[in-house]
Amino acid sequence: MAHSLSAKKRIRQSLKKAEVNQANTSRMRTSVKKVEVAIANNNKEEAQNAFQAAQPEIHRSVNKGILHRNTAARKLSRLSARIKALA
């Protein structure tokens, strides 16, 4: 257990930050999952709409430091390729 005031404050801050990061990660994963469900159902139009909603969420995750930019680019590229393959 932390004894100094600065260590206690650091614990409080890290808990808050972890909670915010968890919420942002969850929101991003949910948007990606909606795209994957639409792809699984062979619904191209719904997949495209979900993909357009997921793109800003993924980019927001990069800006907030949750995802690396190359990881985000790879996710978007793979989802886009899967949507194009539905045609």
Residue 87 has pLDDT above 80, yes or no: no
Domain of residue 40 covers 30-87
Instruction: Please count the structural domains in the chain.
Output: 1
Domain-embedded: residue 82: yes
Domain-embedded: residue 73: yes
φ/ψ (deg, to 5) at 4: -80, 155
pLDDT at 2: 84
Domain-embedded: residue 18: no
Tell me the residue type at 28.
M
Helix (H/G/I), strand (E/B), else coil: 48: helix
Domain-embedded: residue 9: no
Domain-embedded: residue 13: no
Mean of pLDDT values over 58-73:
96
- Residue 45, judged by CB atoms within 10 A of its CB (0-12, 13-18, 19+), counts as exposed
- Say which residue the tokens 């978007």 belong to: 76
Query: What is the pTM (predicted TM-score) of this model?
Result: 0.83
pLDDT digits (tens, 9 = 90+) for 29-60: 999 999 999 999 999 999 999 999 999 999 99
Mean pLDDT computed over every residue of the chain: 95
The helix or strand, by DSSP H or E, that contains position 9, with its residue range, turns out to be: helix 5-40
